[in-house]
Amino acid sequence: MKIDGNAIRPGMVIEHQGRLWRAVKIAHTQPGKGGAYLQVELRELRDGTKLNERFRSSEKVERATLEQKEYQFLFSDGEMFTFMDNENYEQVVLNSDQIGEDQTPYLQDGMEVTIESHDGDPIGVQLPDRVTLTVVETEAVVKGQTAASSYKPALLDNGVRTSVPPHIETGTRIVVNPAEGTYVERAKD
């Protein structure tokens, strides 16, 4: 399906230069001279190479059609990750490059994920929008600290570092957005 060059969003998969690319970062740019364009950082899905490309709104880009299917994460064995199809119980094994180095720490046993395939080949995994994790290390609250939106560093039980509000203490369960690795809210459990 053809889309305008300025309709590309992070996470979208496009066909460009005869290969499949996932948009990682986008930035709208309006130079003082000439027309506006979208600066897009692309990552090739097969070998992970990166490419920075400019797309104008007048350009048409081919958005790749992907089959999406629900799977359950079972376990990891080093660099290999095993998922089970929820309908026919078949298992699929993906490596960390196919999942994304930044997303693998967020995988939890029994987690429901969506595996994207192109022409029958798995090319990526979509994690849920929210993952609940436990803070294992953070700084103590300093009495009289400003009530402004100042965040402090925290280490989570999956080994990822993030920033949390001052009222979050060690041992607190929090909800994190795995796509950005950012604090969302305190867990309600």
| Domain 2-63 CATH (choose: 3.40.50.720, 3.40.630.30, 3.30.230.10, 2.30.30.30) | 2.30.30.30
* pLDDT of 147 over the 60 cut: no
Quick one: pLDDT at residue 154? Answer: 93
Quick one: pLDDT at residue 162? Answer: 93
Can you give the length of the chain in residues? 189
Quick one: pLDDT at residue 143? Answer: 64
Quick one: pLDDT at residue 149? Answer: 64
Q: What is the mean pLDDT of residues 96-106?
A: 82
Q: What gap in Å lies between CA 152 and CA 119, rounded to an integer? A: 45
Residues of the chain with pLDDT > 70, as a percent, come to 95
Residue 83 burial (CB count, 10 A)? 24
pLDDT tens digits, 4-34: 888 888 878 899 998 989 888 889 988 888 8
Pinpoint the residues of the chain covered by CATH 2.40.50.140: 67-126, 131-186
SS3 at position 87: coil
Pinpoint the residues of the chain covered by CATH 2.30.30.30: 2-63
- Per the CB < 8 A criterion, the answer to whether 83 and 92 are in contact is yes
How far from the centroid of its chain's Cα atoms is residue 141's Cα?
A: 30
For residue 145, name the pLDDT band (cuts at 50, 70, 90). Answer: low
| CATH architecture, domain defined by 67-126 | Beta Barrel (2.40)
Quick one: fold of 131-186?
A: OB fold (Dihydrolipoamide Acetyltransferase, E2P) (2.40.50)
For residue 142, name the pLDDT band (cuts at 50, 70, 90). Answer: low
Q: What is the mean pLDDT of residues 56-63?
A: 90
First-to-last alpha carbon distance for the chain, in angstroms, is 42
